[in-house]
Structure 1
């Protein structure tokens, strides 16, 4: 499918859809700092083949969506959640099943509280609570991840430096319990960097203010929720996923043994059927 640019107010977002628009809609929300390419095309087509109308999109300051001067984004994390509504409006979709990964899972939680009527169900992958509702302390990121963040250096004006940095980040986030496919990661990163309007604008996502969260807690989320979490996630260790599933009424947890942070190709065969099953049935269609 061809990319489609949608405009709402002063926001321009690049989107792409897969499948039949008559099928139940599935909106994919990537984590901050990552364009829609990180929802890989093969993954999207598997979901579409299962009878879903799949939409992925570039966040602001990623891919071909609107970019802002590095260090001066002029928007908040909550604004990124509102962008999901803008995408649904542009496609004429009253409500969709929402799948969010990493920070995109946090945006999905905000969306479910602030626009409950637009969310048929939630799938939260490799994420943590973005709204109140967890009454105990959760473990911090693993030492290897913290060390990478502290020691990594990147020249945002040098494409090779940016590619090397993003590939190294992907390696760390993979968790280290499985072989890391560096060739595939480098191919994806090069395509991502190559299509970006301004790859340096990615830095804006590291310093976004949270914005005004909608009222409510995890317990206020009424959408049927499936939490998917890897046992080797170095950013949000497994207890983060467990707390989400416990905090959201009726939340279910699918644990991926050995999986790191994100949607790894090795897990598509498990994730896709789980998402299709979760988004099937009259109770989940509204």
Structure 2
């Protein structure tokens, strides 16, 4: 399988990218969530998409991994800047458009990409998402779980960012409340992932703080009916951040969107137990709608 690492300058910043597969195949752009980096999309998962005949790109957004970062607590950008970054990245990669797969904040970016840069989006796959984006109020939809509300109400001092072992512990425990309660938490797997994340970042403090501080801008839920990209919505049945009603509402408000529930899944990047189902669904979705 061909593989290429590149630092690509777009929209005034440098983004670290990794591309897998053959560029002539339909392109999938993976957009990670807040606090994550391109490592959130595990390489074995990416390889399954490539084996299905896809050209897959994962990248670090601002403040993530090896991309441009800002002082922790002072992000000099907004959500719309991340949207523009993704649109410019698709162009810089020499693509007319890409199949965009986004999770959580990445799904918010995907929604705005499809609205503001429709020519760049061949199809959308939105996972663990809410209609109109995080940070906007949706009184008609259930709130996050009581446990998460209590967690967010507490002041989080964070770890000693210079203590690698402490940072790894912090990363593991930060993911635990978002996982499905009905499935044993994969602490060993999460710890191994946390070690990779801690070892591949310019500024871990910025990665784990800044993306949660940025302005989401004007609500766009009322515009979802304008999305023309074929859309697949994936949502965990046990998502404590955005209960499953958020995913169902998102699918209902995007014309022609398909909804698929992921059993024993919380607000988390696709668990391995779901890979067979999710990979087949993404390959099927992107097979029907190729870039022009």
* TM-score category of the 2 structures, normalised to the smaller one: over 0.9
1:8 pairs with 2:13? no
Shift of 1:22: 0.6
1:79: which partner in 2? 81
Taking a change above 3 Å as real, the CA distance of residues 83 and 176 of structure 1, as seen in their structure-2 partners, is: same
2:229: which partner in 1? 223
Distance 2:254 2:11 in 1: 33
Distance 1:167 1:8 in 2: 32
Which SS does the other structure have where 1:104 is aligned? helix
More deviation in 98-107 or 169-178? 169-178
The Cα offsets for residues 220-256 of structure 1, whole Å up to 9 and x where unpaired, read as 1011100001111111110000001100000110111
1:96: which partner in 2? 98
Distance 1:106 1:255 in 2: 18
1:163: which partner in 2? 168
1:271 pairs with 2:278? yes
Aligned to 1:178, which of 179, 183, 198?
Answer: 183
Q: Is the 8 A contact 1:177 1:258 kept in 2?
A: yes
1:116: which partner in 2? 118
Distance 2:20 2:105 in 1: 23
More deviation in 208-217 or 171-180? 208-217
* Runs of at least 5 residues in structure 2 that lack an aligned partner in the other structure: none
Q: Is the 8 A contact 1:14 1:57 kept in 2?
A: yes
Taking a change above 3 Å as real, the CA distance of residues 135 and 69 of structure 1, as seen in their structure-2 partners, is: closer
CA RMSD of aligned residues (A): 2.1
Taking a change above 3 Å as real, the CA distance of residues 131 and 209 of structure 1, as seen in their structure-2 partners, is: closer
The Cα offsets for residues 201-221 of structure 1, whole Å up to 9 and x where unpaired, read as 121112111246779611010
Taking a change above 3 Å as real, the CA distance of residues 137 and 45 of structure 1, as seen in their structure-2 partners, is: same
1:191 pairs with 2:193? no
The Cα offsets for residues 89-138 of structure 1, whole Å up to 9 and x where unpaired, read as 22100101100001100110010000001101100011111269x98611
The TM-score, its normalising length taken from structure 1, stands at: 0.94
Matches within 5 A, 1:224-239: 224-239=230-245
Matches within 5 A, 1:13-92: 13-92=15-94
Shift of 1:9: 4.3
The TM-score, its normalising length taken from structure 2, stands at: 0.92
Distance 2:75 2:283 in 1: 36
Q: Is the 8 A contact 2:103 2:128 kept in 1?
A: yes
Shift of 1:38: 0.2
More deviation in 158-167 or 254-263? 158-167
